[in-house]
Structure 1
Amino acid sequence: MAKTSVNKEAFDESAYEHANRQMRLVKEEWHQDAISVLAREVVRRLAFRMPRADGPEALPTASDIELLCAALLSADEKAADQFILAARRDGVSPAAISGGYVAGAARKLGEMWDDDRISFIDVTLACGKLYRIIRGLRHILAPAITEGRETRPALFALVPGETHTLGIEIATDFFRREGWEVDMLVGLDHDALLEEADRRHYQAIVLVANSDRMMEPLTRLSLALRITQPLAHIIVAGSILDHHPDILNLVGAEAVMADLETAVATLRELLGKPAV
């Protein structure tokens, strides 16, 4: 099999470390039930939403998946990273990495968890490792994930369970009057929102939440969007910013929109667009 280079440009160290920091914070600050919900979200999105490999010859064997799961469950923090990067260097395609290795390992971990063959702690650690790997490889995996989608500059989405819609409606209207082609999603549950968002490839996604009780749904939504929209910038807006000074790291976002006066400049800076 031909060798493939995995250089610093291909592997996003910043996104990898950001994901690692987020998972560490979640485990430190959240109770077990909330962490379990996040772990199952990782399993679901990686196992069933990633693209399939091109052909059977590119798919990993059952033995490959067993070895990857063993690496994910081992005490060696870098074992799974090295396994996936070695497969990539050996010429395994991005589609086979995501649809074969990563998806296969996620399904296997889910089965082992449901059958009580691994503990809650084991599966959360393994899911955290899988999540940071796909974040590190996001530039490699993104084309297969977003293939065929129309590219749009931004999506404004109200976090499921949030009932205050006036703020997001004002913000969306403000951006449209400023000449931005932005979409808005409100009133949808978690899965429906993700299904709608997946119809397009967004450069930025603004998640709006107001009440403190929205922190867990917000983080779950951000994590899922990181998997299904690997290149999108995640931005947090709304009154929830007043309650969580460390919200960027916990949610895994790049920026906040604290007010309309600076909102356009914030989005322009993230997207590298010049002022008009």
Structure 2
Amino acid sequence: APGEQHGLGALIVEEFFRREGWQTWSVPALDEAELVALVAGRAFDVVGLTVSVERHVAPLARSIAAARRASRNPGIIVLVGGRIFTEFPELATDVGADGTAADGALAVRLAENLLNRKVVSNVI
């Protein structure tokens, strides 16, 4: 997420996605403009952002809203993680994310469930 400096957890979660066959794209410590440009330039199914400290929660909400507006994929799924969401998972909804997961394996399952739900709802 914009302003964040930690990255080990994100790399671990990314590895869970890779092992389940997902193509991943990792950009550590990007700012909001870089996030917006990234999702505007490529139709990502899922974007994962991490936050470790509370002071980055409000900026994250703005970044998620901006990313959704700019996304080439109008149905983009946004997942959030990090220490603050482990302690307060309800913040995921507050920042405009589609969900959060306690670990990498659960994040993959959540992403798959949300993506399948969007595909099914678009087909019916």
Question: So what's the TM-score if we normalise by structure 2?
Answer: 0.82
Q: How far apart in 1 are the matches of 2:91 and 2:53? A: 13
SS of structure 1 residue aligned to 2:6: coil
Unpaired runs of at least 5, structure 2: 118-124
- Counterpart residue number, 1:233: 77
- Counterpart residue number, 1:167: 9
**Pairwise CA distance, 1:161:** 0.9
Question: Aligned to 2:99, which of 251, 255, 259?
Answer: 255
Unpaired runs of at least 5, structure 1: 1-158
- Counterpart residue number, 1:205: 47
State whether residues 16 and 105 of structure 2, in contact with CA within 8 Å, keep that contact through their aligned partners in structure 1: no
Q: Show CA shifts across 1:188-240 (max 9, x none).
A: 22112221222101111111111111101211111101211231011111112
**Pairwise CA distance, 1:245:** 4.4
Q: Show CA shifts across 1:124-172 (max 9, x none).
A: xxxxxxxxxxxxxxxxxxxxxxxxxxxxxxxxxxx11111111111111
Question: Aligned to 2:108, which of 264, 267, 270?
Answer: 264
Greater relative contact order (Cα < 8 A, sep 6+): 2
SS of structure 2 residue aligned to 1:182: coil
Code of the residue aligned with 1:208 in structure 2: it is T
The verdict on how the C-alpha distance between 1:245 and 1:176 changes in structure 2, with shifts beyond 3 A counting, is closer
**Pairwise CA distance, 1:265:** 1.2
State whether residues 85 and 92 of structure 2, in contact with CA within 8 Å, keep that contact through their aligned partners in structure 1: no
Q: Show CA shifts across 1:39-69 (max 9, x none).
A: xxxxxxxxxxxxxxxxxxxxxxxxxxxxxxx
**Pairwise CA distance, 1:259:** 1.0
Identity of matched residues, %: 34
Pairwise mapping of residues 80-229 of structure 1 onto structure 2 (< 5 A)?
Answer: 159-229=1-71
The verdict on how the C-alpha distance between 1:245 and 1:255 changes in structure 2, with shifts beyond 3 A counting, is closer
The verdict on how the C-alpha distance between 1:186 and 1:238 changes in structure 2, with shifts beyond 3 A counting, is same
- Of the structure 1 ranges 194-203 and 162-171, higher mean CA displacement relative to structure 2 is found in 194-203
State whether residues 172 and 182 of structure 1, in contact with CA within 8 Å, keep that contact through their aligned partners in structure 2: yes
State whether residues 89 and 100 of structure 2, in contact with CA within 8 Å, keep that contact through their aligned partners in structure 1: no
Q: How far apart in 2 are the matches of 1:185 and 1:163? A: 11
SS of structure 1 residue aligned to 2:13: helix
Code of the residue aligned with 1:163 in structure 2: it is Q
- Counterpart residue number, 2:122: none
Q: How far apart in 1 are the matches of 2:34 and 2:105? A: 31
Q: How many residues align?
A: 115
SS of structure 2 residue aligned to 1:224: helix
State whether residues 212 and 243 of structure 1, in contact with CA within 8 Å, keep that contact through their aligned partners in structure 2: no
Q: How far apart in 2 are the matches of 1:193 and 1:226? A: 10
Question: So what's the TM-score if we normalise by structure 1?
Answer: 0.39
The verdict on how the C-alpha distance between 1:214 and 1:243 changes in structure 2, with shifts beyond 3 A counting, is farther
- Counterpart residue number, 2:120: none
- Counterpart residue number, 1:54: none
